[in-house]
Structure 1
Amino acid sequence: MIVLRSVGKFFGLAGIRLGFVWAEEALLQRLAVLQDDWSVSHPARWAGKLALADTAWQKQQRARLITAGARLRNCLQTAYPRTEIQSSALFAYSAMANAREEYERLARQGVLVRYFSGQETLRFGLPQEESDWQRLEYALGNRGFVGRCRKLGSVNL
């Protein structure tokens, strides 16, 4: 088994190029032969060390991501009732026939999502601030959606 982890998204450290791999020693040695040298900057090491040491914050972050992910899924499922929403703690995906049109419409409203042209899919990231949630709700509201992007109760881990 191989476990890959990136520090950037979970810890909210956009741009940090720091990740880890856990595996059996023999597999790690085989991977090391295939990997090019990739230096990790001192600021990335410093931030990574602090982030990994703060286990209380990690627990809080996991709960926040679970709650926010459920909120996003609920919001999108209500806005797009005939569309399957697939989600994780960080993203929600929606395949729709008019994905390009919806991507452009949302962009005009100040909501930037990722458009995957080959699959006609949109990927929504988690809004960070309450004002971001409100902007998403407003943009979805412009298509006849009556607000369902409300805060959900928090998760205790």
Structure 2
Amino acid sequence: MEITVTVNGTGYTRDVEPRLLLVHFLRDTLGLTGTHWGCDTSNCGVCVAWLDETPVKTCTVLAVMADGHRVRTVEDLATGDTLDPVQQGFSDRHGLQCGFCTPGMLMTARRLLDDDPDPSEATIREAISGQICRCTGYENIVRSVRAAAEIERTADQEARA
């Protein structure tokens, strides 16, 4: 089937098998390997990207379902050499260890902060509850998201000054 998808602001038209998962379309067809592939069962959350503005587990979405839609992946977070505040927060507060779950966590955290610029710890934990990190114990991930919120607040205050 022919699909047309906008990924990270660039339009792509490709012929795909109807059964091709979005995670494989992103990784294998487009070469965007930032979206990781873990379980294929929607349990781990490492494959989270945005379909339009909604975080989805791309291992449970067929590429044909993205036809005519916008997809945003972790590759789209940074602007040039400037990290997104979420990426900076994870770097500053050691929110990653092996890094396998990190792209999905970053995309989920970005959406959370877009919706709630000052989330509580409970809200952060709820937002990332569909994702598994086997290394960190989540404490530094929560701290990282809080740090990202602070980075954004500081930038907003400086922009208004």
For the pair shown, which has the larger CA radius of gyration, 1 or 2?
A: 1
- The TM-score with structure 1 as length reference comes to 0.31
- The TM-score with structure 2 as length reference comes to 0.31
Highest RCO, 1 vs 2 (Cα 8 Å, sep ≥ 6)? 2
